[in-house]
Amino acid sequence: MMFDGFSPCLFIDTGIECSERCERNSLELAQVLGLRHERTLGSLDALRAAWERTKELARTLEGRDG
């Protein structure tokens, strides 16, 4: 299964207008996949910064023997 090894389904509330509907969708996905559901506050800027750090880490690991 694609989500093997995952344990939380994290909903990041960025304050968008439809956050209640989005969180319900997140809860439903967690239930379907058998994952625990978590919620946190965040911002688009924080998500972008985390994504850039993740890509940089992936680039540094590409050349390593696994």
Segments forming the whole domain that contains residue 42: 8-62
Residue 37 belongs to some domain of the structure:
yes
- Does the predicted model carry a pTM greater than 0.75? no
pLDDT at residue 66 tops 60: no
Residue 1 belongs to some domain of the structure:
no
Q: State the total domains in the chain.
A: 1
CA gap 34, 23 in Å, rounded: 16
Of 6 and 42, the structure prediction assigns the larger pLDDT to 42
Which tens digits make up the pLDDT trace of 16-63? Answer: 999 999 999 999 999 999 999 999 999 999 999 999 999 999 999 987
CA dihedral 61, 33, 9, 59 (to 10 degrees): 10
Helix (H) or strand (E) holding 64: none
Residue 54 belongs to some domain of the structure:
yes
Residue 57 belongs to some domain of the structure:
yes
Residue 3 belongs to some domain of the structure:
no
Residue 40 belongs to some domain of the structure:
yes
User: Could you tell me how far CA 57 lies from the centroid of its own chain?
Assistant: 17
Read off the pLDDT band of 65 (50, 70, 90): low
Which tens digits make up the pLDDT trace of 27-36? Answer: 999 999 999 9
Cβ 66 vs Cβ 36: under 8 Å: no
